[in-house]
């Protein structure tokens, strides 16, 4: 299923979710009809009674899909180095999506920097700077947490930190050409 193929499912059990765009935790009750509006990056965006919610892959069984316990460890090109870890970080970050926009945070231009530091013979830490499309975005912390979590799945990465920054402010010009094309902004 791609991001634009909407279809309805019956929610089979009470399911934890997060309201969009506010980021508040909620429970979608068993028996509700949910319209899947986006399935990207291991999570689902659904509409229930006119409201949008994000459901994590670990709860996909409530929507009739196979649950995704944890992302697999991402193995970068060997030998491990700051460069191979940074390359892996950009790949992993391209699997993090804004739940309202079917474009990953890299192509949206939300990732400003990704710094890799060697901490041991084959261990590294990553510090990433990112922004949001709007400073008041209630999903910002969730997106940043997902980015950090996925960065920590890279083999050799001991710790990742994600800093939300607001300077320079995000604008559409930061988006990749393919993202602008996909969203009809060219």
DSSP for 1-60, written as a single string: --TT--EEEE--S-EEEEEETT--EEEEPTT-EEEEEEEETTEEEEEETTEEEEEEGGGG
pLDDT digits (tens, 9 = 90+) for 65-118: 998 877 778 888 899 999 999 999 999 999 999 888 889 999 999 999 999 999
Q: What is the pLDDT of residue 48?
A: 97
Which DSSP string do the residues of 76-124 spell out, in sequence order? PSSSP-HHHHHHHHHHHHTT-B-TTSSSBTTTTT-EEEEEEEEEETTEE
Between the CA of residue 127 and those of 8, 94, 162, 167, 170, what are the distances in Å? 39, 16, 6, 17, 19
pLDDT over 80 at 162, yes or no: yes
Give pLDDT tens digits for 125-138.
999 999 999 888 88
Quote the pLDDT of residue 1. Answer: 42
pLDDT recorded at residue 100: 86
Residues 139, 21: contact at Cβ < 8 Å? Answer: yes
Residues in Cβ contact with 8 at an 8 Å cutoff, skipping those fewer than 6 apart: 33, 34, 35, 36
Least confident of 1-10, 81-90, 141-150: 1-10
User: For position 69, what pLDDT does the model report?
Assistant: 73
- pLDDT for res 72: 78
Residue 185: its pLDDT value, please? 86
Read off the pLDDT of residues 27-71 as tens digits, 9 standing for 90 and up: 999 999 999 999 988 899 999 999 999 999 999 999 999 988 777
Mean pLDDT of 5-17: 93
pLDDT for 37 equals 92
Cα(46)–Cα(109) distance, integer angstroms? 24
Q: How confident is the model at residue 171 (pLDDT cuts 50, 70, 90)?
A: very high
Confidence of residue 2 (pLDDT cuts 50, 70, 90): very low
The answer, yes or no, to whether residue 4 has pLDDT greater than 70, is no
pLDDT reported for residue 61: 96
Closest of 175, 24, 28 to residue 101, by C-alpha: 175
């Amino acid at each position: 299923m791609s991001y634009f193929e909407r279809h309805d499912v019956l929610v089979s059990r009470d399911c934890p979710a997060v309201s969009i765009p506010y980021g508040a935790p909620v429970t979608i009750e068993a028996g509700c009809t949910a319209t899947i509006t986006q399935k990207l990056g291991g999570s689902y965006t659904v509409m229930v009674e006119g409201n949008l919610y994000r459901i994590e892959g670990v709860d996909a069984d409530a929507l009739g899909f196979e649950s995704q316990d944890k992302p697999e460890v991402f193995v970068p090109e060997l030998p491990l180095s700051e460069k191979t870890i940074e390359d892996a970080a950009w790949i992993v970050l391209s699997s993090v999506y804004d739940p309202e926009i079917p474009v990953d945070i890299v192509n949206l231009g939300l990732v400003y920097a990704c710094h890799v530091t060697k901490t041991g013979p084959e261990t590294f830490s990553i510090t990433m700077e990112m922004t949001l499309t709007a400073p008041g975005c209630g999903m910002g912390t969730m997106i940043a947490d997902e980015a950090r979590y996925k960065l920590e799945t890279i083999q050799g990465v001991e710790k990742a930190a994600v800093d939300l920054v607001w300077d320079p402010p995000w604008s559409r010009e930061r988006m990749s050409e393919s993202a602008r094309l996909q969203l009809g902004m060219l």
